Copies of this chain bind each other. A is one copy, B any other.
Amino acid sequence: MSSGEFEFWFEFASTYSYVAAMRIEAAAAQAGARILWRPFLLGPLFTEQQGIKDSPFNVHPVRGRYMWRDLERLCAKYALPWRKPSVFPRNSILPSRVALLGAEQPWGPDFVRAVYRANFAEDRDISSPPLIEELLTKAGADARAVLAQAESPDTKLRLREQTALAGKLGIFGAPNFLVRGELFFGQDRMDDALAHLGASAATGR
């Protein structure tokens, strides 16, 4: 029995989104919840909200040093593969456009996980079209057709609009879980978000 659906707002360049993306399907299945996949770009939000052109983890090195250690520990805790990427943050525009197209497709979740693994377990360049084509093919998509659509003006506009919507929702980092209008920030809030979904379903709200 399903307790409903919730939105997973993620950014492919985000380390904590990686942890969330690898855990979310098992957690959602256990809660009987359906995931609505919402890729977006953090860069424009960081610029708009904080006036910075880089990750806050680079702008504030003391935060960055902690985050890298925290990520190692989280990956050990959840038994996730981890290799610190040699480039951070990586340009995530292309895979985000593709993920937008895959949000309702059977290949979508596999593709999302494959991109995160490429970035954070294999240290590969996720902005590379050949890599994205390879991951799409492995996920069972018509890679050439999807890539062509990803570069269309319509898809580019959709990603800009989805990023703008993230800002309107009060998003300032990643990942986030949006459960019936309630925003939960950080992969640490996944269980609280799913509990809220269950509680809301039970009370009919």
Contact = CB atoms under 8 A, between A and B. Distances in A.
A192 B62 contact: no
Interface string A46-76: 0001100000000010110110011001000
A204 interface: no
A60 B172 contact: yes
Interface string A166-205: 0000101000000000010110110010000000000000
Nearest to A50: B60
A192 B72 CA distance: 13
Given A73-B192, A188-B188, A192-B73, A170 B49 contact: no
B66 A49 contact: no
B192 A66 contact: no
A77 B188 CA distance: 14
Given A73-B192, A188-B188, A192-B77, A170 B66 contact: yes
Nearest to A59: B50
Interface string A90-123: 0000000000000000000000000000000000
A63 B192 contact: no
A48 to B, nearest CB: 9
Given A49-B60, A50-B60, A66 B172 contact: yes
What are the 9 closest A-B residue pairs judged by CB atoms, nearest first?
A188-B188, A62-B172, A49-B62, A63-B172, A66-B185, A66-B170, A62-B170, A65-B170, A49-B60
Given A62-B170, A63-B172, A66-B170, 9 more contacts: A49-B62, A60-B172, A62-B172, A66-B185, A70-B185, A70-B189, A73-B192, A77-B192, A188-B188
19 contacts: A49-B60, A49-B62, A50-B60, A60-B172, A62-B170, A62-B172, A63-B172, A65-B170, A66-B170, A66-B172, A66-B183, A66-B185, A69-B183, A70-B185, A70-B189, A73-B192, A77-B192, A186-B188, A188-B188
